[in-house]
Amino acid sequence: MNHAEVLAAFDRESRREAVAAGPDTEIERDGDVVRQVGPEDGWSGVLWSGLRGDGQDADAAIAAQVRYFGALGRPFEWKLYGHDRPADLGSRLLSAGFTPEPAETLMVARAAGIPDTPAPDGVRLVPVTDQAGVELVADVHDAAFGAGRVHIRQALLAQLAAGTVVAVVAMAGDVPISAARMDLPTGTRFAGLWGGGTVPEWRGRGVYRALVAYRAREAVARGYEYLQVDASDQSHPILLRLGFAELTTTTPYVHP
């Protein structure tokens, strides 16, 4: 994999030329800024900013987005990548009232190159297709992340209805122990892996690897060339062993 070429393709296809993920989401272009405006309980923020390297246009662009989302009365995120310009964009966002969340690593792999990893003994992988499956995903997220069930349930149901997601639950008997999803954006070769939460007592036993392999097979079947992950410190070493490459960092800067 040519890392520079793949990163440039990701910037172009998934950020600069991003397409709305569903009927309740809009992609808007404001000068050199590309932003996503989601529903009130969904994700909104800046996907791309083609700002100058000298930073002369950065503060005005930041202020414009703060005003825009402020008028909507909702928080938003400026998704800052390690190679974005200007080099001091992070400090400029801090000065404008943003708060950084933990940095993650943008990792990419060819979907067809992911090794086929079966689920561990006693575990089966179940596709999520209806509200009952969504409730299982919400249960796992509560146990693994402490995430709010309402937001997960509503967002995943909307994505399933729009056909823009693949979701899967790992079951040990009748108990959901892990869950993950894969976003299926249009107009790009990159499918996005998200979630991957496993309850504490099942971590380190190969469930996450099996979920990655499951989603890789689904991505290939749907014509996607690459898998993209914003990897935490926890998933980073597992993804490296599966063949993912590090392309850059990504840090969410959140404005209230």
Percent of the chain at pLDDT exceeding 70: 98
β-strands 99-100, 190-198 pairing: unpaired
Query: Domains of the chain: which residue ranges?
Result: 3-105, 110-248
Residue-wise pLDDT for 72-84, tens only, equals 999 999 999 999 9
What pLDDT, on the 0 to 100 scale, is given for residue 143?
86
142, with CB counted inside 10 A (0-12, 13-18, 19+), is middle
| Whether the predicted pLDDT of 13 surpasses 80 | yes
What pLDDT, on the 0 to 100 scale, is given for residue 20?
87
**Contact criterion met (CB below 8 Å) for 254 and 43:** no
* Overall average pLDDT of the 55-77 stretch: 96
What pLDDT, on the 0 to 100 scale, is given for residue 235?
94
**Reduced to 3 states, what is the DSSP secondary structure of residue 147?**
coil
Tokens of 86: 């200007």
pLDDT tier at 190 (50, 70, 90 boundaries)? very high
* Overall average pLDDT of the 91-112 stretch: 98
| Whether the predicted pLDDT of 172 surpasses 80 | yes
* Overall average pLDDT of the 2-20 stretch: 97
Tokens of 136: 């299982």
CA 163 to chain centre: 17
Nearest to 107 by CA among 222, 14, 7: 7
Residue-wise pLDDT for 114-151, tens only, equals 999 999 999 999 999 999 999 999 999 888 887 655 57
Q: 1-7 long-range CB contacts below 8 Å, 24 or more apart?
A: 1/108, 1/110, 1/245, 3/245, 3/247, 6/108, 6/226, 6/245, 6/247, 7/83, 7/106, 7/108, 7/247, 7/248
Nearest to 13 by CA among 238, 221, 189: 189
Rounded-to-integer distance, Cα 124 and Cα 114, Å: 19
CA 35 to chain centre: 15
**Contact criterion met (CB below 8 Å) for 88 and 227:** no
Domain 110-248: CATH class, spelled out = alpha beta
173-200 burial, b for 16+ CB within 10 Å, e for fewer? eeebbbbbbbbbbeebbbbbbebbbbbe
23 versus 251: the higher-pLDDT residue is: 251
